[in-house]
Structure 1
Amino acid sequence: MYDTSTRAQALELVYAGHSRNAVSRRLGVSRSTLRRWLSDPEGAGGGARPCPVPLEPSAAYSALLGYYLGDGHIARFPRYYALRIACDARYGRIIDDVGRLLHTVHPDRPVFRVRASGCVVVQSNWKHWPCLFPQHGPGPKHQRQLVLTDWQRRTIAEEPGAFLRGLFHSDGCLVKNWATRPVGGRIKRYEYPRWQFVNESRDIMQWCGEALDRVGVRWRQTKPRVLSVSRRDDVARLTALIGEKG
């Protein structure tokens, strides 16, 4: 019989990307016991669906990871967890996008939309959401060190455009900047678009920059929590990858 701390440690190691064989050897837990724990991480009993991690790389999960890191959180209930993505109520296409992604990643349960002041919270309930998003933890994301698992890094590497869509459509915006220059003895004003990504977490900012590098979009960090894509061809390339925010 294993104590609860061993169970918790085993689940944490598997959720972090360690193989079941490695966890079995490290903790001295049989693989059959690991399978039982992974099929019922809350210890509630019953024939629950086995833990799905690590996932195969997919555009749907990569985009959902971006949305989660931007405006998502996971709430715990007695028998399940709720993954909630808060979306600005003005952006109907983004709300629909998040709903489709939740359904694609977890098609066995309904997706709910809960209206709040100025936003729509898109939600799906499942006991395995912490497995899929091991960045979940107490307190705001920017107050904790965040680490990607190996399988999450593979997913972002294979689907960087989808990951950037989730990030920029949650914590990003396309703004109009302006500049002046003398033309024929007169000062002329020029306007140009710029993508900005704003996030308090240094880890998330780093992952955003790495994904932009991977797709060949030049960027610079204009403030500690602001990343900007300003050159015309880079703005056009990023917009073509992620779509306009709306």
Structure 2
Amino acid sequence: MHAAGVPFSEICRRLRLSRNTIACWLYKRRTAASKTDTRYPRCDHPRRKIDDARSYAYLLGQYLGDGHLLTTQRVPLLTVTCDVRHPGLIHEISHAMEACGARTVGYQERVGCMCVRAHWKHWPCLIPQHGPGVKHRRKIQLTDWQQEVVHGEPERFLRGLFHSDGSRFTNRVLRNGKHYAYPRYTFVNESTDIMLLCRSSLDQLGIAWRMARSNTLSVARREAVARLDRFIGPKW
């Protein structure tokens, strides 16, 4: 149809396919992009792009939990999914994206959640852990400069992790006929690599933890919970 002179929009209408699909077939844009990868520049020194290490450490923790980086578009898109019951987290993630370099932040509401989204050409440089498939089925390893940021801001990194895949709740138990209630934190993630990063930051701060299950980390000691309350606390 294209060779016969049929207009582009008419081809889409007849085939009932998206304009993007037709364009990829006709002009092989997707194949060219995957081979040359010239849609955005790669940073030789990504660390220099970070003006706010505290915001980056928090955003990295959020990405490792509930984030996704889409690089198949013209400009990469970073998305972090939040529960609509916690508007404070939505605001904090938005601020972190802007502080890291994104000019504008958008929102996409879905059933029970809000997706915080930002286009920026340097996201692949700042988040090299992105890749196809779910995170727990691929290797998650921080680069040297990311390790420096996380080591310098362990509290902010843990705040991002616990705000995404963690929770603070009151544990209630019955012991010897008496009821006891005490707060505790849990962090749940299927990736052993991400769990190791969480444990390393807790160890750096001297916060006691234990593994309740292979995918669940628990912080239950009174002094340890008090430490986390200083920089994490309940989701808001």
Decide which of 217, 223, 232 is 2:213's aligned counterpart: 223
Tell me what 1:15 maps to.
Answer: none
- Which residue matches 1:200? 190
Aligned CA distance change for structure 1 residues 44 and 102 (closer, same or farther; 3 Å): closer
Question: Which structure: larger Rg?
Answer: 2
- Matched residues in 2 for 1:118 and 1:180: separation? 34
In the alignment, does 2:79 pair up with 1:79?
no
Asked if structure 2 preserves the Cα contact closer than 8 Å seen for 1:219 and 1:227, the reply is yes
Provide the residue aligned with 1:212 in structure 2: 202
Contact kept, 8 Å, 2:173 with 2:181, in 1: the verdict is yes
Q: Distance in 2 between matches of 1:211 and 1:147?
A: 14
* Other-structure match for 2:143: 149
Q: How does 1:105-184 map to 2 (within 5 A)?
A: 105-107=100-102, 109-182=103-176
Amino acid at match of 2:222: R
| Residues 234 and 154 (structure 1), Cα distance of their counterparts in 2 relative to 1, 3 Å cut | same
SS of the aligned residue for 2:47 comes to: coil
CA-based RMSD of the aligned residues comes to 1.9
CA, structure 1 residues 115+239, in 2 after alignment: closer, same or farther (shift >3 Å)?
same
Which position in structure 2 is the counterpart of 1:190?
180
1:54 aligns to what SS in structure 2? Answer: helix
Unaligned runs of 5+ residues in structure 1 are 1-40
- Structure 2 residues without counterparts, runs of 5 or longer: 1-35
Q: Report if aligned partners of 1:42, 1:79 keep a CA contact under 8 Å in 2.
A: no
How far apart are 1:117 and its partner, in Å?
Answer: 1.1
Give the AA of the match of 1:135.
Q
TM-score (norm 1): 0.76
Tell me the number of residue pairs that the alignment of Structure 1 and Structure 2 aligns: 199
State the secondary structure of the residue aligned to 1:218: coil
Measure, in 1, the Cα distance between the counterparts of 2:75 and 2:196. 31
TM-score normalised by structure 2 residue count:
0.79
Match of residue 3 from structure 1: none
Could you tell me how far 1:76 is from its partner in structure 2? 2.2
Amino acid at match of 1:54: R
Distance in 2 between the 1:207 and 1:128 partners?
23
* SS of residue in 1 equivalent to 2:46: coil
Query: Matches of 1:161 and 1:175 in 2, distance apart?
Result: 19
Partners in 1 of 2:39 and 2:77 — Cα distance? 17
Q: Quick check: 1:130–1:136 contact (8 Å CA) kept in 2?
A: yes
Letter paired with 1:245: K
Give 1:128's aligned amino acid: H
1:93-143 CA-partner distances (Å, limit 9, x unpaired): 000000000010014x21001101110000110122111111100100000
Q: In terms of mean alpha carbon deviation, does 54-63 or 130-139 score higher?
A: 54-63
Identity of aligned residues (%): 44
**C-alpha contact (below 8 Å) 1:51/1:128 kept by paired residues:** no
